[in-house]
Copies of this chain bind each other. A is one copy, B any other.
């Protein structure tokens, strides 16, 4: 009962392997009578063309590789969901890899994916890959082997299609929102200070301060590394100045920060307003429900998937690489003072 092949069927009917192939594919070259017999037999024995053979023949696998830094992050899950949705509709499968924020693992993953297993690649870079050799590798893959689409954490050094969020703009808009509701001392808490997107958001923040005549103060930027004691860092920050607004660059940080701030007796949003990035499941259910910047992860995934599949199916169509910028939107809830 092992998998049945064309050869097996051929033997059974005493016909050649190519005849069987044509018969199961309903070719007009084969007599109706024989076709019917063969097709019936094939169906009964659950014949299915061996994908591996077809892959080799067609040099295509109908699968796309996805590399994300961290799968326990709701934003990336949403993107993954969007990618899978579109890919599935178009008959592609997803082979998903987690780089775990490690350049080394990212590199290894690329090695595997570049060996012919996937028809295209969608990825978001590990936090520090800007200064890392994977960049060159990715560029080489994109140039010579398979189409690549980068999303969210992208690099200018790689020429390929990209889907990003208007990070600069959203840093700017969010900060202005704080200013509009009357906040003056706005601090930023970032777990992604060494990534481009983190930097851009902070640039936007600075721009908004500048435009509104508020001097920028380096001390208002809190970089939190993975292992840092957020609690302690926050107490330094809160003692540093009379802060009335906190911009957190990811969701889990926002939620944790709100918890800490509340524990220290501040009222949210009475004393301090908080906005976080990534509108996931968390921020909606905490108390107070948090105002968040939605990056529309699912949409980003869908977009990336569409762009990639287009490149796969229409190679060398000469279209220049595109960078789609997805506008963020502010989901206003209870962690910010009312705009009136």
Q: Which residues of A contact B (CB under 8 A)?
A: 1-3, 46, 48-53, 55-56, 59, 61, 63, 71-72, 74, 77-78, 80-81, 84, 88, 93-98, 105, 111-112, 114-117, 140, 143-145, 252, 255-256, 259, 281-282, 285-287
Contacts and interface: CB of A to CB of B under 8 A. Distances in A.
A37 B256 CA distance: 58
A98 B84 CA distance: 8
A115 B80 contact: no
A32 B115 CA distance: 27
A51 B63 CA distance: 14
Kindly report how many copies of this chain are found in the complex they form together: 2
A212 B19 CA distance: 71
A1 B142 CA distance: 12
Interface pairs A-B: 9 shortest CB-CB: A51-B115, A51-B116, A287-B287, A1-B144, A52-B56, A95-B95, A52-B55, A52-B116, A255-B285
A84 B109 CA distance: 12
Contacts of A93: 95, 97, 112, 117
Contacts of A255: 285
Contacts of A49: 115
28 contacts: A1-B143, A1-B144, A46-B140, A48-B114, A49-B115, A50-B56, A51-B116, A51-B117, A52-B117, A53-B56, A55-B55, A71-B77, A74-B281, A84-B96, A84-B97, A88-B97, A88-B105, A94-B95, A94-B97, A95-B96, A96-B96, A259-B285, A281-B281, A281-B282, A282-B282, A282-B285, A285-B285, A286-B287
